[in-house]
């Protein structure tokens, strides 16, 4: 990949030489700052942008949602600040964009630009800056997205719950914003934005911003929706959704949105949102984003949630009917500080976003439900981490380190739960070393305040931590091992096992039951009555770590517990996987049904892996994937093509 990048840069220089002399100077600047690894300094390995030369500080979007062509069409006006007073060019990221013209917004004069050959992270877009003594200039880019835009999921009416109107939503993390907006698509760059979005009159439009006024009817009969995000955010947080949506008020600063088929269920399951916000503020400081809404998306959304400011995007698989899966909302609320306010400088330091978020999420849960619940949450996540590192990726895989080298690597290919759980475990360790929550929590609040609105790397966190606790002996911390060594964490917290005891006893009993020597079944249908939803999930997770259960045991378990009828998505997935592990053919059609009815990668990828890894069901896995592929988002397809050995990682 690195040689390809170097070749691309050489081609770029030739192209620029033929079109614009000024660009040669910029290219020389870039070349002079190359490190021995071929990376830009101080750059992001997954972005062409050069914010150290000229930086985008605000974006104004005026876009029409064209469902017929499945594109966004319009313009972006970029406020650009010259960081280098001699800067004559701004470098952006793009992917598949149809650039129609680029103008000096103040004069209307055309600006020369070069859209380079597309590579695995898109294209570099070089734009000549207007000749001006001013430090700040405005550039107008007239463009449209392509039908293959990786940030957008377009749905026909038949694919929606209501079946009457089309739907579109975005998912820009990690590097997909460049396929929707010409931008400096790196988390090291933060910009405010405003937007005017035109959509069919019957549809509601939401963005990761505060709505401004009421939608206005245009001359074409469509409606124009206005938004303002005054807080500078990284490009992957730009988000849009449009569909036949309704809302319900669930708190003083929160509404839940979805198609009407889901909205009341969502209002019930997410009714504790305001309490979560208040607990998060106790831990982290003031909530600065104004509103906190939740949009429950169609089932093809590939994540549990996405922390878009002002409106979290959530999967309908969270709607369990008993609020048992609403902790994901606590996670997304925590991101309001950990990721959105203080941000990893690039995706090599992704644990700074996700590890801190899991750590904070669990503290919110502990404040709401008691400290044993916090520990129980961590116990369940530890099992997920072990599965990811030991069973899937391999303990020597460099992508299981906390701090990665993503030179030549698409961050979507590196995505896993490692930064989430290994990162949060590191923070459990640091909390233990400094003397517990009473000392760690004031530090965290100080850390968020110190680095708010900034993007940082792991060394900056380390330096701030050591300086804050400079009166303590912290020489035991093996920073380099934690940051750079692959495999399981160096430390496992001494978790409170009180909530895990009941499920452990039941799972052990099933494992040890010898059906031949003990023909009388020692279990009853009441076994599950004493377990919470979380404990039931953990009961099945524990069994997944054991040797496969026999088909006879699985049949008996189904007869007693009626797990096939359980619609809690976490229980459903683990029960299916337990059946596939035991080669119980009863599980195969249920596996196919689950990967078809929803697109959340947390469930898709392990079920597809299990189907593929069994020679008897491998063909079913491949055929089901090809059938479902048209309704899946790009990031899910990309991951599954690796899991199913369709492409090499």
CA distances in angstroms from 390 to 91, 385, 393, listed in the order given: 41, 8, 6
- Name the pLDDT band for 17 (thresholds 50, 70, 90): very low
Could you tell me what percent of the chain has a pLDDT over 70?
93
Give Cα separations from 368 to 330, 331, 356, 365, 568 (angstroms). 10, 14, 18, 5, 22
Q: What is the mean pLDDT of residues 399-425?
A: 96
CB 121 within 8 A of CB 412: no
Closest CA to 237 of 382, 321, 344: 344
Number of other CB atoms surrounding residue 639 within 10 Å: 21
Q: Assign residue 309 a region: left if phi > 0, alpha if psi is -120 to 50, beta otherwise?
A: beta
Question: Choosing from 420, 448, 608, 612, which is the catalytic residue?
Answer: 420
Instruction: Supply the pLDDT for residue 19.
Output: 35
Question: pLDDT grade, residue 20 (50/70/90)?
Answer: very low
User: What strand order describes the sheet that includes 123-128?
Assistant: 89-94, 123-128, 113-115
Does residue 517 register a pLDDT over 50?
Answer: yes
Which fold is adopted by the domain 517-529+538-643?
Answer: 1.25.40
Write out pLDDT tens, residues 574-606. Answer: 999 999 999 999 999 999 999 999 999 999 999
236 included as an active-site residue: no
Active-site entry in 89, 259, 332, 373? 332
What is the average pLDDT across 412-417? 94
Residues with Cβ within 8 Å of 207's Cβ and at least 6 positions away in sequence, in order, are 195, 197, 225, 227, 229, 238, 239, 240, 241, 310, 311
Report the alpha-carbon distance of residue 376 to residue 374 in Å, rounded. 5
Question: What is the pLDDT, as a whole number, of residue 38?
Answer: 39
Taking a C-beta distance cutoff of 8 angstroms, is the pair 493, 372 a contact? no
Cα distances from 260 to residues 268, 284, 598, in angstroms, run 14, 34, 18
Residue 649 pLDDT class (50, 70, 90 cuts): low
Predicted confidence (pLDDT) at residue 10 exceeds the cutoff of 90: no
Q: Does 332 qualify as catalytic in the annotation?
A: yes
> What pLDDT is stored for residue 302 in this prediction?
93
Higher pLDDT, 33 or 254: 254
Residue 135 has pLDDT above 80, yes or no: yes
Crossing angle for the helix pair 351-369 and 458-468, nearest 10 degrees? Answer: 50
| Fold topology of 248-484 | Zincin-like (3.30.2010)
Flag whether pLDDT at 16 surpasses 70: no
Instruction: Please state the rounded mean pLDDT for residues 281-305.
Output: 96
Domain residue spans in the chain?
49-244, 248-484, 517-529+538-643
Superfamily of domain 49-244: tricorn interacting facor f3 domain (2.60.40.1730)
pLDDT reported for residue 29: 36
Three-state SS at 463: helix
């Amino acid at each position: 990949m690195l040689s390809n990048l170097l070749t691309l840069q050489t081609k770029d220089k030739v192209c620029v030489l033929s079109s614009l002399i000024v660009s040669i100077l910029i290219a020389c600047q870039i070349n002079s700052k190359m490190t021995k690894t071929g990376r830009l300094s101080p750059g992001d390995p997954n972005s062409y942008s050069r914010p150290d030369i000229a930086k985008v500080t605000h974006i104004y979007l005026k876009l029409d949602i064209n469902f017929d062509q499945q594109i966004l069409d319009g313009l972006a006006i970029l406020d650009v600040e010259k960081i280098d007073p001699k800067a004559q060019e701004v470098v952006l990221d793009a992917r598949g964009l149809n650039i129609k013209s680029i103008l000096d917004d103040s004069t209307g004069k055309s600006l020369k630009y070069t859209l380079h050959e597309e590579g695995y992270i898109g294209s570099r877009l070089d734009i000549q800056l207007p000749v001006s003594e001013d430090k700040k200039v405005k550039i107008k880019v007239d463009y449209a997205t392509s039908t293959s835009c990786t940030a957008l999921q377009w749905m026909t009416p038949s694919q929606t719950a209501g079946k009457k109107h089309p739907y579109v939503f975005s998912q820009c993390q990690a590097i997909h914003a460049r396929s929707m907006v010409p931008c400096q698509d790196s988390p090291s760059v933060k910009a405010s934005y405003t937007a005017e979005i035109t959509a069919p009159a019957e549809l509601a439009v939401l963005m990761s911003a505060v709505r401004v006024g009421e939608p206005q009817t245009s001359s074409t009969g469509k409606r124009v929706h206005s938004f303002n995000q005054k807080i500078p955010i990284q490009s992957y947080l730009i988000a849009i959704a449009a569909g036949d949506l309704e809302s319900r008020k669930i708190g003083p600063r929160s509404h839940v949105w979805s198609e009407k088929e889901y909205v009341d269920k969502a209002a019930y399951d997410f009714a504790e949102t305001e309490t979560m916000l208040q607990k998060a503020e106790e831990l982290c400081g003031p909530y600065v984003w104004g509103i906190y809404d939740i949009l429950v998306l169609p089932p093809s959304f590939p994540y549990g949630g996405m922390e878009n400011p002002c409106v979290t995007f959530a999967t309908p698989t969270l709607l369990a009917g008993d609020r048992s899966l609403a902790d994901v909302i606590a996670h997304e609320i925590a991101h309001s500080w950990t990721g959105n306010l203080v941000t990893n400088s690039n995706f090599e330091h992704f644990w700074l976003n996700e590890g801190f978020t899991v750590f904070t999420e669990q503290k919110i849960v502990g404040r709401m439900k008691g400290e044993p619940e916090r520990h129980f949450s961590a116990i369940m996540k530890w099992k997920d981490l072990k599965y990811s590192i030991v069973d899937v990726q391999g303990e020597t895989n460099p992508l299981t380190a906390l701090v990665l080298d993503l030179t030549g690597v698409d961050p979507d290919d590196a995505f896993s739960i490692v930064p989430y759980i290994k990162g949060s475990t590191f923070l459990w360790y640091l909390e233990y070393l400094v003397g517990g929550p009473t000392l760690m929590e004031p530090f965290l609040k100080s850390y968020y305040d110190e680095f708010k609105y900034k993007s940082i790397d792991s060394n900056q966190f380390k330096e701030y931590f050591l300086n804050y606790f400079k009166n303590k002996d912290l020489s035991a911390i093996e920073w380099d091992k934690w940051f750079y060594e692959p495999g399981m964490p160096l430390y496992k917290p001494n978790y409170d096992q009180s909530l895990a005891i009941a499920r452990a006893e039941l799972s052990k009993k099933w494992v040890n039951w010898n059906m031949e020597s003990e023909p009388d079944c020692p279990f009853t249908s009441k076994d599950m009555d004493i377990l919470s939803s979380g404990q039931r999930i953990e009961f099945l997770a524990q069994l997944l770590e054991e040797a496969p259960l026999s088909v006879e045991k699985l049949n008996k378990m189904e007869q007693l517990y009626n797990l096939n009828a359980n619609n809690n998505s976490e229980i459903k997935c683990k029960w299916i996987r337990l059946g596939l592990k035991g080669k119980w053919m009863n599980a195969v059609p249920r596996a196919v049904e689950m990967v078809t009815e929803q697109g959340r990668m947390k469930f898709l990828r392990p079920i597809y892996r299990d189907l593929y890894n069994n020679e008897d069901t491998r063909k079913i896995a491949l055929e089901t994937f090809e059938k479902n592929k048209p309704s899946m988002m790009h990031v899910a397809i990309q991951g599954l093509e690796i899991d199913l050995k369709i492409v090499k990682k």
